[in-house]
Every structure is written in structure tokens, then in C-alpha cells.
Structure 1
Amino acid sequence: MLQNHSKRTASQAALKQGLFLSGVLLAGGVQAADALDQGDAAIAEAAAIGVVQAGSEVPSVTVSATRRNASLQSVPLAITVIDGERLEQANRNSIESIVQEIPSATFRQQGGNKDSTIFVRGIGTISTSPGVEPTVSTVIDGVVLARPGQATLDLLDIDRVEVLRGPQGTLFGKNASSGVLNVVSRKPGQQLAGYVDGGYYEGNEKRLRAGVSGALVPNVIAASLNALYADYDGNVSNVHAGGGKVNGYERKGLRARVDITPREDLDITLIADYLRGTGSPSFTAYKSTSTAFSQAIAPVVASLENRSVNTDLPSDIRDTNRGVSAQVDWRVNGYTFTSISAARDWDNAQYTSTSAIGNSAEASRITAAYPATRDIGTVAFSQVSQELRVASPKDGFVDYVAGAFYLHGKDRETYQRIVTTNTVNSGRADYGVRNDSYAVFGEATLNFTPALRGIVGARWNRDELAYDHARTSTQATAFAGVQPAVQSDGSVTKDGYSGRVGLQYDLAPGINTYATYSRGYKGPAYNVFFNMLARDTLALKPETSDAFELGLKSSWLQRRLTVNLAAFHTAYRDYQANFYDTVAGAVVTRLINAGEVSTRGLELDVAARPTQQLSLNAALAYTDAQIDQFNCPAAAAASCNLNGKTLPFSPKWKSFVRASYGIPLNNGLLLDLSADYSYQSRTQYDLFQSPDAIQGAYGLLNAGLTVSSVDGGWRVALVAKNLANKSYATNLVASTGYVTRGVPRDDSRYVGITARKEF
């Protein structure tokens, strides 16, 4: 009774909070409507005296978040949109670097790509198991990527990146209980054109892109082909004899696109891509409280800014991503019928070490506390998907998008750990997961009046999940991170429901407000990994969420200023999280239904164009993500006193500001000066609140100077990253006796030069 009363009290408090925020937004919107007329008068007066230049307005941004192209300002949803060309110029080429511009998102870097993931509004998936689907879904040109690791390499030929915040199940194919990263590539034009784009940065980082596009058959077939090559030595020194630099990469890829329009009512898009990457990600010693560990890494000394390791076998991560897709859009009587068929493969191999020593040849450094270990893991993942949609005409009382979705995923993995003390022992696991996901979804807009609209969406999905696992070991008992031999398999089928309802109201031209409720859903899961035990054989329950969002989107001063505001509160039940436990003296992970967590906050996005030359962008997010009720597993060896604690990878405050000023030169050139600054408050990286896994608040200042031809035929730019030379960690992992740090590319100041020639 007390528990039910507490939940009821919390629900009432949340409702009151929501009503209060709604009142604030609506009141602000009414005042804004009044101010709009005054603002127009002020603009007219300013224009008369030459303070404001004609034509200097914030560019309109088109998004596909509602599965139709629409203006960002008209969509009743919190969205961040980043231009692809701007990302390339800023040397932000992957999701890890893109999130610096997205205050509501963070990125968790781990030893390999398959273990890294994105968080939105403080919620993400921390698990290496192939039996867990991501909380934040990644979609590229309409194709859902079933595994987070598929999206960690470079993005190629990108038009824009849209980050949709909050549950998105009613319109996007796969379950997306916390958000969607929607990547849209460029369309080929009709005119024959090409480009070569190269860059060189301190640290011997080299990047080269080239592409060609144009019509093969005028107005019928257009195509593009883009290629990428990049490599980087790394910013961590391996002091071992002949070690050189680590924490770098090499990547190469191709992307081809063909757009076919055989007649006016039919569009066909064919895309094929291939991307291969190798890397040597290295976590450095951040802190040591163990003499044995300090001796094992000597002469490296653990410190906050340490960028050195001592390893005879550096990490070696290899990824290959490839896929094909076909999208068909057929328009008839105002309706658009869409089919997206796709097949993708992802291969991953990881050669890493779980200790300071990786090779038995280093016998003088081996101790009982820190034996030599070598981990070898492989992933072979494939998926096929099919999505069918229909979009109704938009001139009636009801306009809608409805569809059906199917995805089949198959994962096969191996993992081997070799442990050397005075003898050599090892263990190996072979395991895999099969998943079939079916869904029917739709969302409708009810146009009650020209100013008032209702939103209704629903989704039904079925997840069929099965796994098998077999581990062998040279020992009958546990030793140094290897559990005894075991074998198991299992399967589960679950039906789930999600939905969205809301209202959108236009207070005045250019100003609209919305209030929505969404139910999020994330399917069942299995904790399938190398050290899987009997207790991991039961399927986890699906994770569900209830999300409330209130928003205001506004344009001011004849579109010279846009201000968007969103307030949200989301409560998660049966939250799927990794729980660190101790078995036979070794730390292991246990994926559990951790209980109840919640996230609430405010998000502000501002864009301004005071003059034709000056552009300003700012974004701010306040996120309070916390554990409400943690369910401690039976006989857990680790502490579960986590109620009221902060969720990991969720800074309370995060912001991004950018300014760009263009100066026309007399000789037909354009000079552009730009700077941006990102800030992140104190962040806990450990679910179990280790004081050694806290990254202090930090800010990063970047700048650029670009000279280009007015016609856009060529461009040369100087880029400076992390001008204040601020060292920080993308992840801190606390272990017994020591802490290691994930070292980002811009952990210290560096500069570079880029050049682009179009023809």
C-alpha cells in the first residue's frame, strides 16, 4: 500500500509539474504573439536606418522526422538538425564527434566499436550482448541499423543528421524508446559535377574524399559515387620497444546512389555502400592505487592527462560494413506508397587485453594480480529488412502515415581469452542470437481548425528472440576472468504496444506550441556474452516508458531569429541495464531489469541571422536523469544502494554555441570566420557511482578560417580544435586498484588545413 501510495504521489507531482510547465509555455507563447507585431515594427524601423539587412534570415530547415518532408519549425517534436557540409568542415565525421553539437546527446566510448553507444536525454544501452536492442535507434536513408556498432565508423556523403528526442515508435520501423538518429544522404543532381576534398591535421591525420554525380539519362536517371580514405597515427604513445603511436585508425569506403524517375509519379532510389576500418583504441592509466599495477605499466605513470601505455600487443579493432537498399515511392491520387528493402552485413574483429600485459613474453611484468591476458573476439552480423508505408494527401481533415515493418537479424560471435601466469590457460565461447521483429504502425494529424491540430499514433510489434551459447575452458573452476565450461540456449516471443497522442496549436504565424504523451517500448533481451552463466539464461522483460513533452517553436523578426523550447519528463519501467557483480574474485556484468529510472529537463535551441554576414546558433540542455528504484538481483555481490543516484553518461548541463561571420572580398572571394564552444557539466560514467569515474566539467573551443570563391568552386580552410588545450575523458572505467581513461581525438590542441575543389 505504501509503495502504491508513493507511486500515486509521484504521478500527481509529475502531473502538476507538467501542467505548470504547460502554463508557462502557453503564457510565453501568448506574450510572444504580442511581441511579434512589435518585433516586425522594430525590424521595419531598423531596416529604414540600415541596421538590419534585407534577406538576412535564418534558412528554412527541412526534416523527414514525420516520414514526409516538412519544415523543422512546423513539426511538433524536439529535433536537432546538423548540416552535413558543416560537419565535414569542422572535422566531425562520426557519431562520437557529432554529439559535441547536440546538448541532449552523449556518446559512450569503449574498447571497440561494438561496445560503444549513443545516449539521448540521459538514456542509452550499456551492454555488449547481441541479445539487446539499442535504446536509441540509428536510421540511414530509411534503413534501420539493428546493432549500435554498425554506425560508429565515418559517415559518407551526408546531407544532414536529425536527432529526434524521446520515443519514436509510431513512425520509425524499429523500437526506439529514447530517440532516433536519422541520417539523410545527398541526392545526386542533374548537372555533371564532381569534387575532391582533402585535409591534413597535426598528429599526421589525413582525410581524402572525392565524388562525382550527374544525370545518366536527363530527368530520368541521376547517380553519384563517393569515396573516402582517412588515417590517423593516434594520440597515445606506446612506450614499449617499437610501439610507436596508438589510438588511431585507418578507414576507406565507397557509396553509390542511383535515383531513377521513369515517370512523374514514380521515384526509385538504389544505394550501395562499403566501409572498412581498422583502429587501435587505447585506454590509458588514469589513476593507480595498486603498487602491483604501477609496476606492471612502468615506466608509464598513471595521471589525469596521461597519454601513454606500455603494451607489447596494442589493441587492434577491424570493422567492415556493407549494405544495399532500394526505396520506391509511388504517388497516386495524392497518396504516396513507399517500399524500403535492405540487406546489411557487419563484421567485427577485436584483439584486446583486459590487463596491462598482453603477451607471455613479458614474463618479468607478470604478477598474480595482473596476469598477461589476450582477448580475441569476432562478430558476423547480417540483417534484412522490409518497410511498407502509405502517406495520405495533406489537404483533408485527417492526414496520416501508416506502415508495416519486418527485420530479421542473425548474429554469430566467438570470444577467446588467453591468460598467462606461470602457466597458460584459456576459455572460448561460441554464441549467437536470432531476432525477428514485426510491426504495424501509424500516426495521424487531425486538422480541427487551421490553427489547432490533434496527433494520434499507435504501434504494435512482435519480437521473436532466440540465442545459443557454449563455452569451453581449460579449467573446471573460474580463473582470471574466465568462467567454467557451460552450454545453454533459449527463446522468447513478446508482443508490445506503443503510441503517441497530443495537441498542436498555432498561437500566431510563425509561433506554435504542442503537448504530447508517448509510450515507448524496447523488446525483451538476453544477456549473451563470453562469461554467460546459468543465471543469465532467463529473458529480460521488455523496457517501457511514459514520456510527456511540451514544446514551443517560434520565428521572430521576419525569420531572423528562431527560438525552440521543449520540456520533457520520461519514466522508464523494467529498465535494462548492466549490473557489475563479483564472481570467484572476478568482476562480471549481469544484464538485469534494473527497475525504475526517469529523466526530465528543458532544451533550448536558438538560431539567429542579424545580418547577411553573421549567423549564430546556440543550444542548451538541462537533463536530470536518475535511478528511482533499483531492483537488486538475488545474492548480488555488489552494492545496490543506488536509489536517487544519477544515471551514467548524463551531464545535468550541456550546451553548444557557434558563430560564423562572412566577409566578401573585393577580388571575388569570400572570407568566413567561425568559432564554436561546447560545454558539459560534471558527469558520472559509472552506474555504481564510483568517485573515480567522474569527469569534471569542461569546455572545448574550436575555430576556423575559410577562404572560398563566391561561386563555390573551391575552398581552403584552417581549422583549430580545442584551443584551450583541455584534456578530458570520453569514459572512465574503475577497476580494482586502478582507473583507465578513454582518450578522445581532441584531447589536446591541434590544427589542420583542408581544401576542396569542385568541377
Structure 2
Amino acid sequence: MSNRRAPLRPTLLAAAVASVLCAPALAQSQTEDQLPEVLVTAQRVSAPESQTPVAMSVLTSAQLDKLGIDNAAGIGARLPNVHLDGAADGLRITIRGVSNADATEKGDPSAAFMLDGIYIARPQFQTFSFLDVDRIEVLRGPQGTLYGRNTTAGVVNVISNAPVQQLEGAASLALGNYSSRVATGMLNVPVNDALALRAAVALDKHDSYLRNGQGSGYELGQDRDDRSARLSAKLALGRSASLLLRYEHATQHGNVDNIVPDTNFFKGIETGKPVWYGASTGERLTNRFKPFNTGLEQGYNHKSSDALGAEFSWNLGAATLDYLGSHRRNENDFLANFYYRVQPTLAIGVHENFWGDQRQDSHELRLSTNGSGPLKAQGGLYYFREESHQLYVFRDLQILTPLHLPPYYVFPHGPTIARSKAAFGQLTYSVLPGLRATAGLRYTQDDKSRVGSTNFQQGQDFNAATDFKLLNDASLNTHKMTWKLGAEYDLGPTAMAYGSVATGYKSGGFNDGCVAGASALGLPCPAAIAVPADTLLYQPETLKSWEAGVKARFWDKRASMHLAVFNYDYTNLQLSGVAIVAGAPRFVTQNAGQASVKGVELDGQVRAGAADNFSYGVTLLDAHYISYKPDGVTSWAGEPLDRAPHSVLNLGWEHTFRLPGAQMSAGINARRSAAYNISVSSQLLQYRIPARTSSDFNVSYRPDAGSWSVMARVKNLENKVQPITIDSFGMSVPSDPRTFDIRFDYHF
């Protein structure tokens, strides 16, 4: 194995930043030339982002519009050390090289995805279109105290607009290539002094980005047909309390056949050393695979989500009591045509039918202090429950040898139940003027269980005379205490330094199978088919993080700088892949041993007068395994973690032109990423994705006194694509090609 790591040099970067902070401020008093301040709730209380001692990024609704980002998969290209990829099985979040590949009902993410503070457990339901978004907060690093489990990598929190006491509305329509059609609408109505209502709708459609070279005439995936709606009501309960209710409904239709063979990008896979080769974007996006063992079918994908949420806030004087609760039901139904490489030079076609139903409930009660005293404290209780039922059906696996599987390989699973209970508290005390110390603690208890079976069937329905079942039955109870110690110091009126030591926790889980002697569903688990306990169960993933940073605004608040330096120590990193267990292919998660992650992040903005705004970002990252043997023999010690480029550079520029009675703005954003790996540990394969530059451009026109505007946008000007995921059988999901659209907005 090769070791591609290079030593980081944070000292020189820190010295350069210090010299900037010490530079004389330029005299400038025009407030329109200053950077706007954004209020965030990263610490669960409202505070300016520049005064929040956390490594984070914020994208406002205006920025999302300019960048053409309308779902979570588009966020990562604009953030330091963040990948958010729209994989075949849902959203894949990677922050600072830490990710998770188990998107099944038994898996958990390393980074929590939240909608209005509500944890969304399944990645399949994190891909819906954004709807009336106020801002998105992305927190990097473990957030185990205030946000809890499954936040070892960080948190992505999408925050919607709430009703306000003002009559307003907005509508937009965007048309682009690939028959793209995006329409949104919003209406906010104050009913009286106490009640305001807000409704929002969105439609987002485009044709497939992929090309069918199979000769079947069927439509392929990477298409889109999303529809969503939300109704919100905010009620003032006297002068000191308020209640916010939200109901959301969203559907997503299209095609789950959004893969191409990994051979569209790499040669030499059969040798165990994939090598990237040159090809046009059209060739990369063409699926030419024609299975010899089965016929192709028209794939489809149908998802729906319904959610009811409530936020209650009561100012008690010395403290504020907050409640946040939600009930969500998600359903998914799809048919996919898979490319399965079962031997180095042999691939077969496999069909998967899937149906799933998932329901989750969450409740959080939190008490936080008010006032300007030296002590700021908050604490609370949290409860989460998820129940899901699934049916996986794989067809045409009988060609697999030496397994001699029957035509139908079926997984009826459910209920799968996950419960999490937590108590948490965090306090900050002003030790000296300008110096504050923070301590936080959270205790979490997780209970998981699942019952189901692996069925070997001759037909679609189980026949006891010809078919047989293997029991899948497991449960796991884990608990963890996570904590945080931190300090922050005001370097000046608009600058602060902070440091922290914190821990993170991702719950453990189980794989398919059962332990000897177990019994459920009328099925025994004899020793001959039992799975050893250390294979059936995998342990929680834990992290300890050391981080220091500086946040500053200088040059009369016309420039900003965020600097973070971090060092992680990961233990029991959870990695997933397909392996043969008890004579059948199964999706297995195992603990990878230890990993080290350290790096530097520098980003900010510069407003050079009223007409020009610049953004910049530089990241250096060294994320590698300390100890890991994927097959129990081969050592990957020193090898990089997935999606962890050693360096990334982001640059953006927006210029505003004054016209008679109007203004025109043009902006360009470019990202240069170093090469990085996507690994398939079960096959001992490491795919090296080469370095890449990707650029976006937008131009807009707005009359000074008008209520409308028009914008044109181009994403991926270079029209280059690369794999964003590669699975154990060689199925690769490519990134998006060049897209462009023109958008018209109207508001009142």
C-alpha cells in the first residue's frame, strides 16, 4: 500500500493570519460596505456567527439562490472539509474525512442531518428539495454535548423561515437544460396581533443526466421530480410565550437507476489497483452494461414524507423553557437494475425491489438562563424513537457460484427499533472580562433491536416446501458519557480566540445473522448457521477532539477570517461493505481500529467597497488510519480516509454594476480539490479520484424600485464528472454534469 500523506504546516499559516490581524485597520465608516452579521443557533441559543466559538459555515437563502443549491447534495462544494453526496441510497455526509456507508435501517450516520433542529435518521429522506429556507448551519467537529449521538463528524442543520407579523409573498420560476423546471411560492399572512400563518410550496423537476447505451430504451436515473409543501403557524401566548407549529408533506418520484459501472472511470480493477483514465463526460455518463443473465426493466423510485413539528418557548424571566418535538413518517418504494461484479472479470445483472416504512418521534425539553450575568447555562432531556419495516428482494442471483443461490434472495425485516434517551447540560462562566470558560456533559443511552430473516426462495412468495430462511435477530444496548471543555478570549471588539477538548459518540449496531441458541419468528438459530458475536455486533465509534480557532472581523468590519486547527483521535471507526457470512452475501459493518485526523481550515470574506465582494477558503487535511486490517491480514495503516483531500482551495468574487434605475451583479466561485480516495475495503480496492477544479457562475438583474429580478446560473463550467460513491460490486454514482438555468423571482 502506498502512503500519500504529507506533513501539515499550520505554523506558517497561523503566522500569516496573525500578521493580517495586526495590520492597521482602514478607515471606513459606511455601513453598506461592511459585512452583514448572521445570527445562528449553533449553541442552541441565538448569537452572532462571528461570536460563536465553533468551527462552522452558514449559507443564507440569498447565497443558496445565487449558487443554485436546492437540496443538501449541493452544499458541500462550498464548505471547508465537507462532502455531501447524493448517493444511490441517500445523502452521504463526510466532514473532515469522517463518513458512514451503512444507509440501511440498522445504520447510523457520523454527521447528523437536521431540519429545524429535528434529527432526520434515514439518509434516503435527507435528499428532498429545500423549501423556504432561512439558512443552513454546518458545524464541523464533534457536537456530542448539545446535539448528542451520531455527531462525531458534525451537524448539518437546515433552518426554515418561520411566520412573521408582516404580509409578504414570493414566487419564482427557473428553466434550464435537461428540461429543468423549478417553481416555488410563499405566502405569509398575519391573522391578528397574536397569530401569523405561512405557506410554502416547491416543484423541482429535470430529466436524467445519464445516457442509455444498453439499447433498452428505458429511462435512467439522476432525474428528479420533487414536490413539497409546508404550512406553519406561530401563535403568541401572551407576552412571554409562543408556539410554532409546522406540517410538511413531500414526495419524490423518479428513477433509482443512477449508477454506471466503475469501469467508466477506471481501468485495471481486476488487478486490484484501479487506474483513472481519460474519457469525455458523455462517455462517463453512459451506461452500456448489458447483463447476460437477465433482462433489464424500467426502474422507478417513489418516496413520501409527512411530518408534524412543534416548538414552544416560554420566557420565565431568569430562564427560558423550550420544547422541540416532531413526528415523521417516511415511505419508500423502488425497483433498481444493478451492476454486480461477482468476479474480477465477470459482472451480472441483479434486480432489487424495495419497500420500506419508517416512523420517528423526537422530544427535547431544554432550560436556558437569560440575562447578562457572568453565568450562562442550559440543560435538558432528550428522547428519540424510530421504528421501521422493510422488504428487500434481490432477483437473478442464482448465477453466483459457488453459493448456488436461488432466484430470489429476500430480506423481510421489521420491526427495527432504535431508542435514544439523553440528559445534557452546558455552562459558560466569565472568569475575567473577555475570558470565558465552558463545560458540558451529556449522558446517552441507546437501545437497538431488529428481527427478520434472510430467505432463499424459488419464487416471489415464500414456499415452505422449497424455500428456507435464516434468522436475523439481534439487539444491542450501549451508553456513553460525552463531554466538552472550552475557553474563549476576546482579542478585541471584533475578534475572539477559542479552544476546546470534546468527545463524540456514534452508537453501535448489528449485522445480519443471529447468535447460537437464539429463536424468533418461529425460527431457531443452530450453531451451524450462527454468527460469532464479534461479527454480529459492532461497537460504538468514539472520538476525542482538540481544536483551537480564531474568528475576526477587521478593516472596519469589511473583512472576516475564520481559522481552525484541529486534531482528532478516532477509535472503533465504523466501516461497511459486502462480505460472505454463513454462506451468503451480507452487508457488514465492522470497527476499523483507530484513525487520526488533523488539519487547518481558513475561510472568510472581503468586501472591497460597495461593488466587490470576495470569498476565500483554504483547507489542509491529514486523515489516515492508524490501525486497520480490512481482511484481517492486509494493513491499511497510514492509508488516507475516504473523501479526505489533502488540500482544497475555494475562491469567489461578486461584482455589482450600477445601471440607470437598476443594478446588475455577476459572480464566480471556483473550488480546487486535491486527489482523494474512495475505498471498498471488502474488496481491498482503493479508487484514487484525481485533483479537480470546478467553477460556477451567476449573473442577476434587479430594478431599484422593482419587485422582480432575473438571474442566470451555470454550475460546473468545466463539465467534468467523477464518482461520488463506488460500492462493493462496482456500481458508481457519477457527479452532475454542467447545468444552467434562468430564474425569475417576484416578491411583495
TM bucket, shorter chain: 0.7 to 0.9
Q: Is structure 2 residue 481 aligned with structure 1 residue 513?
A: no
Residue number among 608, 617, 622 corresponding to 2:620 in the alignment: 622
Does 1:581 pair with 2:579? yes
Distance 1:23-1:235 versus aligned 2 partners, 3 A rule: closer
Indicate yes or no: 2:316 matched with 1:319: no
Task: Identify which of 635, 643, 646 aligns with 1:641.
Answer: 635
Report the counterpart of residue 40 of structure 2 in structure 1.
63
Shift of 1:262: 2.5
Contact persistence 1:259–1:268 (CA under 8 A): yes
Q: Give the counterpart of 1:120 among 61, 73, 95.
A: 95
Counterpart of 1:471? 454
What's the counterpart of residue 754 of structure 1?
A: 743
Give SS of 1:350's match: strand
Q: Which amino acid aligns with 2:531?
A: A
Q: Secondary structure at the match of 1:402?
A: strand
Q: Which residue of 1 aligns with 2:263?
A: 287
Whether the aligned pair in 2 keeps the contact of 1:434 and 1:465 (CA below 8 Å) is: yes
Deviates more, 1:536-545 or 1:58-67: 536-545
Q: Give the one of 714, 728, 735 matched to 1:720.
A: 714
Greater CA deviation, 620-629 or 534-543? 534-543
Residue deviations 1:161-197 (CA, integer Å, cap 9, x gap): 0111111121125441110101111122322221211
2:735 matched residue in structure 1: 744
Q: Which residue of 2 aligns with 1:197?
A: 172
Q: Report how far residue 314 of structure 1 moved.
A: 4.3
What code does the residue aligned with 1:725 have? N
* Match among 105, 125, 128 for residue 82 of structure 2: 105
> 2:732 is aligned with what amino acid?
R
Which residue pairs with 1:136 in the alignment?
A: 111
Hey, what's the Cα distance between the residues in 2 that align with 1:329 and 1:658? 39
1:444 and 2:427 matched: yes
- Please say if 1:596 is aligned against 2:594: yes
- Residue in 1 that maps onto 2:328: 344
Match of 2:531 among 507, 512, 534: 534
Say which SS state the counterpart of residue 534 (structure 1) adopts. Answer: coil
| Paired position in structure 2 for 1:149 | 124
- What does 1:76-475 align with in structure 2 at a 5 Å threshold? 76-113=53-90, 116-217=91-192, 219-239=193-213, 240-244=215-219, 246-280=221-255, 281-287=257-263, 305-310=283-288, 312-355=296-339, 369-419=346-396, 425-432=407-414, 433-474=416-457
1:259-317, Cα deviation, whole Å (9 max, x unpaired)? 111322111111111110023242123427999x9xxxxxxx99874222246324322
CA contact (8 A) 2:509 2:539 kept: yes
Letter in 2 for 1:347: E
Secondary structure at the aligned position of 1:169 is classed as coil
Cα distance in 1, alignment partners of residues 96 and 664 from structure 2:
37
CA distance in 2, matches of 1:446, 1:520: 23
Q: CA deviation at 1:719?
A: 1.1
Q: Deviations over 1:310-339 (max 9, x none)?
A: 463243222112201110000011311001
CA distance in 1, matches of 2:54, 2:715: 32
Task: Indicate the SS of the match to 1:730.
Answer: strand
Question: Are 2:680 and 2:726, in contact at CA under 8 Å, matched by a contact in 1?
Answer: no
Aligned CA distance change for structure 1 residues 176 and 559 (closer, same or farther; 3 Å): same
Tell me, which stretches of 5 or more residues in structure 1 are unaligned?
1-16, 294-300, 358-367, 477-482
Q: Write the distance in 2 (CA, Å) between the matches of 1:529 and 1:85.
A: 49
Amino acid at match of 1:602: V
Report the Cα offset of residue 404 of structure 1: 0.7
Q: Are the structure 2 counterparts of residues 246 and 167 from structure 1 closer, same or farther at C-alpha, using a change threshold of 3 Å?
A: closer
Determine helix, strand or coil for the equivalent of 2:50.
helix
Residues 522-543 of structure 1, C-alpha deviation per residue, up to 9 Å, x if partnerless? 112112599x973477332211
Q: Which amino acid aligns with 2:166?
A: Q
Shift of 1:714: 0.6
Structure 1 residues 406 and 246 mapped into 2: Cα distance closer, same or farther (>3 Å)?
closer
Output the CA distance in 2 between the equivalents of 1:290 and 1:501. Answer: 49
CA distance 1:309–1:171, shift in 2 (3 Å): same
| CA drift at 1:589 | 3.5
Q: Distance in 2 between matches of 1:651 and 1:587?
A: 32
Contact 2:325 2:363 in 1 (8 A): yes
Q: State the secondary structure of the residue aligned to 1:727.
A: coil
The match for 2:517 is none
**Partner of 2:655 in structure 1?**
661
Q: Is the 8 A contact 1:593 1:631 kept in 2?
A: no
CA contact (8 A) 1:199 1:206 kept: yes
3-state DSSP class of the match of 1:616? Answer: strand
d(CA) in 1 for partners of 2:166 and 2:728?
55
What TM-score, normalized by structure 2, do the two folds share? 0.86
Kindly tell me: are residues 695 and 369 of structure 1, through their superposed partners in 2, closer, same or farther at Cα, counting changes over 3 Å? closer
- Distance across 2 between alignment mates of 1:380 and 1:529: 22
Q: What is the distance in 1 between the residues matched to 2:132 and 2:633? A: 47
Aligned pair count reads 694
In structure 2, the CA distance between the partners of 1:200 and 1:669, relative to structure 1 (3 Å rule), is same
Helix, strand or coil: the match of 2:98?
coil
Contact 1:662 1:673 in 2 (8 A): yes
Distance 1:303 1:669 in 2: 41
Higher-helix-fraction structure: 1
SS at match of 1:485: strand
Q: 1:202, 1:24 → 2: CA distance?
A: 42
In 1, distance between residues paired with 2:650 and 2:547?
22
Whole-angstrom distance in 2 between the partners of 1:279 and 1:685: 27
The alpha-carbon distance between structure 1 residues 54 and 407, as it changes in their structure 2 partners (threshold 3 A), is closer
- The separation in 2 between residues aligned to 1:673 and 1:535, in whole angstroms, is 61
**Counterpart position of 1:296:** none
- Aligned partner of 2:274 in structure 1 is none
Amino acid at match of 1:234: S
2:520 aligns with: none
Name the aligned partner's letter for residue 185 of structure 1: S
| Cα pair 2:374 2:429 within 8 Å, conserved | yes
Aligned-partner Cα distance in 1 for 2:369–2:260: 55
Partner of 1:560: 558
Shift, 1:673, TM fit:
0.7
Distance 1:584 1:324, change over 3 A: closer
How far does residue 727 in structure 1 lie from its aligned partner after superposition? Answer: 2.7
Q: Please give the alpha-carbon distance, in whole angstroms, between the structure 2 residues aligned to 1:610 and 1:142.
A: 35
Q: 1:488 to 1:727 in 2, by over 3 A?
A: closer
| Partners of 1:56 and 1:612 within 8 A in 2 | yes
Aligned to 1:679: 672
Give the Cα separation in 2 of the matches to 1:724 and 1:290: 23
Q: 1:721 to 1:22 in 2, by over 3 A?
A: closer
Which residue does 2:690 correspond to in 1?
Answer: 696
CA separation of 1:185 and 1:373: change in aligned 2, threshold 3 A = same
